[in-house]
């Protein structure tokens, strides 16, 4: 089974270096990672992998314009 990690607002708790280490460890496990937060820029900069970002507003989910393949 492929693991997945759900991490809430991790960038408010960790600096960019440590955030990158957490994400890298998850990716090394082959995990799918779900991140939430209001300041995802450090997480995105730390991520050396493809990602898709979604935006949630008033209960509606939409795919954000910024993403990688």
For the beta carbon of residue 64, count every other beta carbon within 10 angstroms.
10
> 62 and 54 in contact (C-beta within 8 Å)?
yes
What's the pLDDT at 65?
72
What's the pLDDT at 9?
86
**Nearest Cα residue to 27 out of 52, 53, 46, 54:** 46
pLDDT (tens digit per residue) in 2-60:
888 998 888 888 888 888 888 889 889 999 988 887 766 666 766 677 788 888 889 99
Find residue 32's DSSP bridge partners.
Answer: 4
Using DSSP bridges, classify how beta strands 32-36 and 4-8 pair: parallel, antiparallel or unpaired: parallel
What's the pLDDT at 66?
61
């Amino acid at each position: 089974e492929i693991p997945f990690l759900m991490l809430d607002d991790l960038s408010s708790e960790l600096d960019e270096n440590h955030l990158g280490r957490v994400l890298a460890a998850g990716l090394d496990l082959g995990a799918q990672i779900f991140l939430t937060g209001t300041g995802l820029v450090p997480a995105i900069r730390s991520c050396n992998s493809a990602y898709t970002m979604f935006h949630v507003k008033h209960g509606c989910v939409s795919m954000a314009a910024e993403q990688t393949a």
